[in-house]
Structure formats: structure tokens, C-alpha cells
Amino acid sequence: MPSYRLSRAAALLGVSDDTLRRWIDAGRLSSHHDDTGHRVVSGTDLAEFARSAAADTERWWGELTPASSRNQLPGIVTKVVRDQVMAQVELQCGPFRVVSLMSREAADELGLEAGVTAVASVKATTVVVARPEEK
């Protein structure tokens, strides 16, 4: 199982290096030193921490609306572009930008404007997974 330096682990969790260090110092996540003396987090521990943190979304967002889609991404609307029929809505969900195309009527009914919170729900039969090359 790979280990990640703190800056990479923090980026994967979408937090600052300092936040990750505070979590480690508080005992929320374990770390160790690799052969070169760098402080690292094991991939297994990081995955478990990410899973438990994701399960804690109710603490920050309240209860999400039950839906058949399991991929619910809470975020903040950053931009809405409307024309006569359609609207393009951009959300920032943690470190990820999500763009949705919907009817203008739906965007208006939901009150979607920059600065409001919203939840992007993704339901797809095809999800492509790739592994980035390590630097």
C-alpha cells in the first residue's frame, strides 16, 4: 500500500497541510516517518479517514435529501448562466468543480444564484476511473 507525504495527503482530502498536521497531532489520523525521514500517511489509513469524514457530512450540511443516487456532493454555487430555456450552474464541491445543465425553470424554482449552497447528485451507469502518473 502506498504512503503519501503530508502535502499530497492534504490535497487528496481537500484541506491545507496545516489542517492535516493538526488532525495528526490531535490523534484523528496516524502518520509515520518513511526511509528518508519524511512524515507520511499510509494509503490505508488515509482511505479510512476519508471514508469516515465523508460519512460525517450531516455535521456540516444537515441531512441530505434521500435519493437513489449515492454520489451526493454538497457545495456552493459559484456561477449561473441563464438563457431563455436553459441554465448552466457551476458548483464548487470541496476541491471539485461540478457543472450542471438544467432548464431555466428548474434553476429559478431552486433559487440557484452564486453564493447559495446546493447538493449535486450524480447517478451514472458509467464512471471512468484512471490513476494519475506519480511524480
What angle is formed at CA 83 by the lines to CA 113 and CA 108, rounded to 5 degrees? Answer: 40
68-73 own/partner pairs: CB under 8 Å, 24+ apart: 68/123, 69/121, 69/122, 69/123, 70/123, 71/121, 71/122, 71/123, 72/119, 72/120, 72/121, 72/122, 73/98, 73/119, 73/120, 73/121, 73/122
The last residue of one of the domains, among 12, 32, 55, is 55
Q: How many domains does the chain have?
A: 2
Please tell me whether residues 134 and 92 are part of one structural domain: yes
| Same domain, residue pair 51 and 65 | no
| 83 vs 11 pLDDT, higher one | 83
**pTM (predicted TM-score):** 0.65
Residue 23 sits in a domain whose CATH number is 1.10.1660.10
Q: Residues 7, 47: one domain?
A: yes
Q: Are residues 29 and 67 in the same domain?
A: no
Q: Both 79 and 120 in a single domain?
A: yes
Q: Is residue 131 located within the same domain as residue 89?
A: yes
How many angstroms from the chain centroid is the CA of residue 8? 15
In this structure, what CATH number is given to the domain that contains residue 89? Answer: 2.40.50.100
Residue 124 grid coordinates: 451514472
- The residue out of 14, 36, 55 marking a domain boundary is 55
The three three-digit cell numbers of residue 96, written as one number? 471539485
> What would the pLDDT profile of 107-129 be if each residue is shown by its tens digit?
999 999 999 989 898 887 777 78
pLDDT in tens, 61-100: 666 667 777 778 888 899 999 999 999 999 998 778 999 9
Cα distances from 108 to residues 25, 87, 102, 104, 121, in angstroms, run 46, 9, 10, 6, 18
Structural domain range at position 29 = 3-55
38 and 84 in a single domain? The answer is no
Separation of alpha carbons 89 and 11, rounded Å: 25
Domain end position, chosen among 35, 55, 75: 55
Q: Is 119 exposed, middle or buried (0-12, 13-18, 19+ CB in 10 A)?
A: middle
